[in-house]
Amino acid sequence: MIKIEMQDVCLGYGRKVVLKDLTFQVSPGEMVGLIGPNGCGKSTIIRALSHTISSYSGKILLDGQDVTKIPRRQLAQLLGVVPQMPLLPSAFTAFEIVLMGRNPHLGLFQYEGPKELAIACQAMEKTGTQSLAGRRVSELSGGEIQGLLIARVLAQETKAILLDEPTANLDIGRQIEILDLIKNLCRENNLTVLAALHDLNLASQYCDRLVLISNGRIQAEGTPREVITARNIADVYGAESCVYTHPVNGLPCVLLNTGNNKMARPEGVIKEL
Amino acid sequence: MKRKRYKLGISYLASVILMSLLGACTPTPAEEPALPVESATFPIETTDQADRVVRVEKMPEKIISLAPSNTEILYALGLEDRLVGVTEYCNYPEAAKEKPQIGGFSTVDIEKVVEIEPDLILATNIHKDEIVPQLERLGLTVLTIDPKTVDEVLEAINLIGQFTGKAEEASQLTAEMEKQIKAVTDKTAALTEAQKPRVFYILWHDPLMTVGSETRIHELIEKAGGINIAQGLPDEYPRISLEAVIMANPQVIIAGSGHGTGQDAPFHFALTEPRLAEVEARQNGLIYEIDSDLTSRPGLRIVDGLEKLAEFIHPELFKESQ
Amino acid sequence: MNIAPPIHFLHWRSRIYGILGLFILLIVVALLAVAVGSVNIPFSTTSSILICKLPLVKMTPTWTSALETIILEIRLPRVIMAGLVGAALATAGATYQGLFRNPLADPYLIGVAQGAALGAVIGFLLPSSWHSVGFGIIPLLAFCGALASTAIVYSLARVGKTLPVTILILAGVALGALLGSIVSYLIISSGERIHSIMFWLMGSFSLSQWSEVTVILPYMFLGMFIILLYARPLNLMQLDEEQAQQLGINVERLKLVLLSAATLITAAAVSFVGIIGFVGIIIPHAVRLIWGADHRFLLPLSILTGAVFLILADLIARTALAPTEIPVGVITALCGAPFFLYLLRRKRKVIF
């Protein structure tokens, strides 16, 4: 059980500051969603949390420890990442890719034994990708690859999982399947989950809390009801009067209404945000 | 890929330079001078040893030599006053080093040559393909010397003498040389095969190179009463494997020196290579060094080379006569 | 369990068989290469000479010491040298291809060859009295030149604490071009030394001896051992660097270690033998075509295949036109390219 914390973190690339004053936390057993418009910096936050980029200032803590001080291998045992559009070597099979998830638990001299193979198998079964096992990555579709990445992070058996748009290429059935899986794991194993999602409905349905990023800072934080409001959506996304209440569970849901995007207005001034 | 092109370029360069270095070229038959030897009147027109027709209108006053062998011949014919250009490698006689230098091993500074305005240029087979045509295009007269055998060396000296108005001196010189050669071959001609020792001539040790049967050095070895262990090999200057040398078990090893003095010289190799320890020449201490200028240069000192080789190969026949 | 493990055990099984098979092939090819040469020695004599040298075997020699010298002092060290160099170049090539994720990478990519060539040419041009320092100044300078040029490229390409591979390649190619031009200039102005230098550059095993083998053996073992150790991380490097980091790989340290080890074995290979091309780029690809890209198998298979290939190439180089020798680089290109094209046509599968 580990807690992810960001305190006053400032992030950017080169000299350009992309995000400032980031302060939030994710507790064990909690699934937090990162939402915001394209390019707002969700991937940047995930990179910073997994220490693939450095922060300019502020502290990023994993279970109380500064993430930059944790040795790489140990960090990978604690925290797993499902990247957004990763490069996968086309010559490897799906099973080999998933098996790579076991790397943090293997020493330099060790090789994958039956236990590792079993864990990888199980991970593939859970994500419904076991039929892809012997196929080469180059033959797989985007959706199948995304399933594989989830399987890989499951095989990694970490205490915390970061997901960067894990369902972008999946059909609606698969989306629900995967997110149900993650939510259940989160609950059952007390995992700490942070997911960057672009689909506001999924975010609303699955996440315990949401963090809304816009204009380089946290715009709003809280439960889905608190964050997904008509006003927030209009301010951040520029799409007006889209928020309704789900008839079954009462959570906010966003329904599209064409023609009310401020950009599409033929006349009138674009509202200042 | 860059590396492959680089390699191709280097290989091409290598073959061009190796060919010039080793004097490998298509054999051309040497021609007898068409005019009688005594004629010292100009103009002269005849074919040189590269099968080119050369014409000289009047007695050449300014002569340039493109090879050390030609320089030696010019000095021997008493033409040093008319010699106005030599190569960096013209080192015999000593005085030749003082002459203005117009080129290196196979390279010639064309501009310098043109500036001097020579009446006659003496080239060799290395220059035949590119430099000679270029010089002729510039209106200069070039005589190419390319002797394949010892006899052709003598002819070359006569040819040069003819073209420089020193025909008499040349024929005297060659007559003297013939006498010296005969002094050696008279003694060795009588030898049986069994009496002729197996000789291994090391041209260079890394790679291990020796002389084939088409070369003048091979001819010298034979005239000196030896059997060249590499005589069956195809090229003029073939590489030979160390294995083949060991199997041939030469009785005399002669290393050409002058390409690198000191430790890396073929002589040192012959003396110290551990895998040659069982070879007869090493066991009997019959390993010699010879100045390769004496054996390689197609000039008058080839006779000295022959005499030295004879001394090494048949000390019992030749030591006293020195 | 279920379907997946058996599939993979199948792949692993064929690869392990491949390793065993190649090992046996290596022994056979090595014996063949020792038995055949420009001088005809009956096989029974060769095997007797070899067996006699084994400990605890007592035999009275029925052969001349000349034959013994040929087999034990000329051919055997030569074959071992060819095997070591072939293995080293193939391994280094596979490592560079994995590190740079680039199928065109070869051991000479970042300037190792040109650095070694420059060192060797300087050695050739030094006054001869220097030449007997240690094992010969030319291998020493070639080795130092190779390492120095890689170190320069490495420091040129570093950006802060990271080593971006594209910049590394560019810096390597640039430095290689610069060094190559210096080498060309020195060659042109080397005068009489030129044929020794050209011969060295084209690569040859002709004067290999035991002293050389004992000198490069420790470097080869060390370098190849380290690379084999990092086979699994090298697999993970095939993902992009971000994913590899997220899966626990310290990417910068891995690059440094693997680069150093690969450069070490390449420098050792090149220093005595000159620059033999083609082995480092083609052998890893051929192995991948047959046995896949998993580095845990790719690396040992490359070691064995590289050794077999170069021993055979050297055998052809010294016997095809005996007793004259063809430079071994010509043979590697002539024989290797068509074979690779054939493989490529037969198995049109993705290899990278």
Q: Are residues B241 and B164 in the same domain?
A: no
ipTM of the complex: 0.84
Same domain, B149 and B195: no
Higher pLDDT, B235 or C316: C316
Question: What's the confidence (pLDDT) of residue B250?
Answer: 93
* Averaged pLDDT for residues A57-72: 89
H or E element in which residue B243 lies: helix B242-248
| Structure-block tokens of residue B212 | 């084939």
* Between residues A261 and A104, the one the model is more confident about: A104
pLDDT category of residue B136 using cuts at 50, 70 and 90:
confident
Q: How much is the pLDDT for B39?
A: 47
Is there a single domain that holds both residue B163 and residue B232?
Answer: no
Encode pLDDT of C245-270 as tens digits: 999 999 999 999 999 999 999 999 98
Q: Is B1 within a domain?
A: no
Min Cα separation A121/chain C (Å) = 7
- Asked if the model's pLDDT at residue C93 lies above 90, the reply is yes
> C288 to chain A: which residues are within 8 Å by CB?
91
Task: Give residue-wise pLDDT tens across range B43-82.
Answer: 778 888 888 888 888 888 899 999 899 999 999 888 888 8
Homologous superfamily of domain range C4-346: ABC transporter involved in vitamin B12 uptake, BtuC (1.10.3470.10)
Q: What percent of chain C has pLDDT over 90?
A: 34
pLDDT of B29 over the 50 cut: no
Q: Which residue has the tokens 């995930």?
A: A46
Q: Does any CB of chain C come closer than 8 Å to the CB of residue A15? A: no
**Confidence (pLDDT) at B303:** 92
C-alpha angle A69-A70-A72 in degrees, rounded to nearest 5: 120
Burial class (CB in 10 A: 0-12, 13-18, 19+), C150: buried
Mean pLDDT of A201-211: 92
pLDDT score of A268: 44
* B3 within domain boundaries: no
What digits encode the pLDDT tens for the residues B209-255? 899 888 899 999 999 999 999 888 877 888 888 888 998 999 999 99
Same domain, B33 and B173: yes
User: Do B52 and B167 share a domain, yes or no?
Assistant: yes
pLDDT at B15: 61
d(CA B310, CA C298): 61
Q: For residues C4 and A121, what is the distance between their CA atoms, to the nearest angstrom?
A: 7
What's the mean pLDDT in A55-68?
89
Which pLDDT does position B60 carry in this prediction?
A: 87
> Which CATH number is B276's domain given?
3.40.50.1980
Among C5, C236, C246, the residue with its CB nearest the CB of A121 is C5
Please state, for a pLDDT cut of 70, what percent of chain C lies above it: 91
Judged against a pLDDT cut of 90, whether residue C106 lies above it is answered with no
Average pLDDT over residues C285-303: 90
Residue C129 sits at the chain B interface (C-beta within 8 Å) = yes
Closest CA to C108 of C338, C335, C329, C352: C329
Q: Quick one: pLDDT at residue C323?
A: 63
Contact of C232 with chain A, judged by CB distance below 8 Å, is answered with yes
Tell me the nearest-neighbour CA distance from C161 into chain B, angstroms. Answer: 30
pLDDT of residue C65 exceeding 90: no
Summarize the confidence of residues C160-185 as an average pLDDT.
88
Q: Which residue range is the domain that position B200 belongs to?
A: 191-318
Residue of C nearest to B18 (CA): C195
Per-residue pLDDT tens over the stretch B173-205 = 999 999 999 999 988 888 888 889 999 999 888
CB within 8 Å: A52 and C236: no
| Chain C, nearest residue to A114 by Cα | C5
Is the pLDDT at B26 greater than 70? The verdict is no
- pLDDT for position B4: 62
Claim to verify: residue B233 and residue B145 sit in the same structural domain: no
Question: Residue B322 — pLDDT band, cuts 50, 70, 90?
Answer: very low
The pLDDT of residue C350: 56
Record: contact A100-C8, CB cut-off 8 A: no
Tally of helices (H runs) and strands (E runs) in chain A: 9, 12
Confidence of residue C207 (pLDDT cuts 50, 70, 90): confident
Number of domains comprising chain B = 2
Position A266 scores a pLDDT of: 46
Q: Is A141 left (phi over 0), alpha (psi -120 to 50) or beta?
A: beta
Half-sphere exposure of B183 (CA within 13 A, CB side): 16
pLDDT at B263: 47
Is the domain spanning A4-229 CATH 1.25.40.10? The answer is no
Averaged pLDDT score across all residues of chain C: 85
Range among A135-149, C189-203, C321-335 rated most confident? A135-149
Which of C320, C290, C316, C287 lies closest to C302, judged by CA?
C287
Q: Indicate whether B108 and B239 sit together in one domain.
A: no
